[in-house]
Amino acid sequence: MSGMLLDAARATIADAMGLRPPEVSFTGSATDAMHRAIAGRLAARPGTLVTSGVEHSAILRAGDRHEAAGGAVVSIGVDAQGRVNLAQFTDAISDESVSLACLQAFNHEVGTSQPVPELFDACRATGVPLLVDVSMSLGRVSAPPLGDLIVGSAISWGGPAGVGVIGVRSGVAWTPPGPYDEREAGRVPGLPAVASIVVAARALEWALAQQPDDASRCRSLLDDLRVKIPRAIPGVRDLGDPTDALPHLLALSCLYTSADALVDGLDEAGFAVSSGSSCVADTRRPSHVLEAMGALTQGNLRLTLPLGSDDTTTAGFTEALAKVIAADREALGAPEID
């Protein structure tokens, strides 16, 4: 029975990822999936790793490890909205030494979309596999993911924590990192967490069923905040691309404020927000994404709307933010902003 349930869940998730069920395996997290995807490719075909400067920290740390072992990593810069320079990326993967290219579908911190379809075509032309991170977008946007290796996380589509997904498209040279285990197509050792995976699959079905309406509703809610907040609070602006981006994520830069005050003050007001890097344990650490964008790395916050959000989710947010910022600026002795 558990085998049938696992097969059905795998088929559901594989279909959403644009893959066949045998190409999909389950890990304990998206971080683990990213590390395995990169390690397996580099084990099969050693060479240069090409990434953007705004990838999930798991990708960047895998690159650090590759460099420490004598490998080469090329990091491609981004513009002020957090979008990678496609021309530079395309040029970088033309080198014969390149083993793998990595690019997120949407940025985790500011929501900006990345030119994955165009890069996927370029990778096909050069024969370089493309690893795509859909951890923030699967189940929340309509476009099916493209990539030769695809990684995701169930928690992003409303599933349980502890379920990561790694997809390796047939034909991609990939060697399991570590001792071989015949389970999960040799990609992940040990027994999969069947109950959690089944719940994750059902959650994904639910997310996909309501995706168009949910995305439209979330985008409308956040677009309303994008208009109201700068009018009500001087020195606050939104980050990333306001239109070609995740519909459920809003990132703000708040001049003359501290991240601690923003997060704690809004929490007391009933709003859960985050600040700093979205992919490290210490969420108050300055964001490598904002640094790469040339944006202010202090006094930023990120509001991520859950599935099923409506106008009650954001009601009173502008007023609460204004109070928190005013109190923090007064405590810091910050100058007035016209």
Task: Provide the token pair at 319.
Answer: 């007023």
Q: What three-state secondary structure class fits 59?
A: helix
Among positive and negative, which fits the CA dihedral 200, 204, 205, 207? Answer: positive
Calculate the CA 79 to chain-centre distance: 18
DSSP string, 211-246: HHHHHHHHHHHHHHHHHHHHHHSTTEEEES-SSSB-
**Reduced 3-state DSSP string for 295-309:** CCCCCEEEEECCCCC
The 130-133 sheet, strands edge to edge: 24-27, 164-168, 149-153, 130-133, 98-104, 48-52, 73-76
User: Length of the chain, please?
Assistant: 338
Best CA proximity match to 320, nearest among 269, 274, 273, 272: 269
268 sits in the region (left: phi over 0; alpha: psi -120 to 50; else beta) called alpha
The CATH architecture of the domain made up of 2-205 is 3-Layer(aba) Sandwich (3.40)
HSE-up of residue 58 (Cα within 13 Å, Cβ side): 24
Q: Where are the alpha helices (DSSP H) in 249-287?
A: 259-268
Question: What's the pLDDT score for residue 337?
Answer: 84
Q: Can you give the pLDDT at residue 108?
A: 94
Nearest-Å Rg of the Cα atoms of the chain is 20
Quick one: pLDDT at residue 278?
Answer: 53
Structure tokens at 64: 């650090």
From 3.40.50.970, 3.40.50.1100, 3.90.1150.10, 3.90.79.10, which CATH number describes the 211-332 domain? 3.90.1150.10
Are domains 2-205 and 211-332 of this chain identical in fold? no
Torsion angles phi and psi, residue 229, rounded to 5: -65, -50
- Rounded to the nearest 5 degrees, what angle is found at the Cα of 55, between the Cα atoms of 303 and 21? 95
Give the integer Cα–Cα distance in Å for 85 and 76. Answer: 7
Q: Where are the domains of the chain?
A: 2-205, 211-332
Backbone torsion region of residue 235, taken as left when φ is above 0, otherwise alpha when ψ lies between -120 and 50, otherwise beta: left
CA 75 to chain centre: 17
* CB half-sphere exposure, 83, CA atoms < 13 A: 17
Per-residue pLDDT at 285: 65
Across the strands, what pairs with 142? Answer: none
Tens place of pLDDT per residue across the chain (338 aa): 688 999 999 999 999 999 999 999 999 999 999 999 999 999 999 999 999 999 999 999 999 999 999 999 999 999 999 999 999 999 999 999 999 999 999 999 999 999 999 999 999 999 999 999 999 999 999 877 899 999 999 999 999 999 999 999 999 999 988 777 777 777 888 888 999 999 999 999 999 999 999 999 999 999 999 999 999 999 999 999 999 999 999 999 999 999 899 999 999 999 999 986 555 444 456 789 999 998 888 889 999 999 999 999 999 999 999 999 999 999 989 888 87
Residue holding tokens 């699959």?
Answer: 201
Contacts of 188 (CB under 8 A, 6+ apart): 25, 26, 27, 32, 36, 166, 181
Phi-psi region of 240 (alpha: psi -120 to 50; beta: other; left: phi over 0): left
